[in-house]
């Protein structure tokens, strides 16, 4: 599993279990994600949180990569703008 997909799955699990407040995640997604996963988003990065219901499905189409290879086959083809925090 892609590391980003794993983190998204972990985030959903923590919201469902109550470890992370959905309201706080919706209000301050960048801050909550950075703190929870010890990463730093690049300047200007925006995160939108959407909640699906039985009547609403969100379909996200990633940006098309300029070149498809094994490294970006399932991703956007662009480096993601985040990095682990220094310890």
User: How high is the pLDDT of residue 20?
Assistant: 96
pLDDT tens, residue by residue, 29-57: 999 999 998 888 888 889 999 999 999 99
Most confidently modeled range among 3-7, 21-25, 32-36:
21-25
Helix boundaries (H) for 1-87:
3-17, 22-27, 29-37
Its domain, for residue 77, covers: 3-84
Query: Which 3 state secondary structure label does DSSP give 26?
Result: helix
Helix (H), strand (E) at residue 39: strand 39-41
Q: Comparing 5-9, 30-34, 39-43, 77-81, which segment has the lowest mean pLDDT?
A: 77-81
Predicted TM-score (pTM) of the model is 0.67
The count of structural domains within the chain is 1
């Amino acid at each position: 599993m892609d590391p980003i997909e794993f983190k998204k799955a972990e985030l959903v699990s923590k919201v469902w279990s109550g470890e992370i407040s959905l309201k706080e995640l919706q209000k301050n997604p960048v801050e909550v994600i950075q703190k929870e996963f010890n990463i730093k988003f690049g300047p200007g990065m925006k995160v939108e949180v959407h909640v699906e219901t039985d009547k609403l499905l969100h379909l996200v189409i990633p940006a098309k990569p300029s070149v498809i290879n094994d490294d970006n086959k399932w991703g956007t083809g662009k480096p993601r703008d985040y990095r682990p925090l220094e310890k």
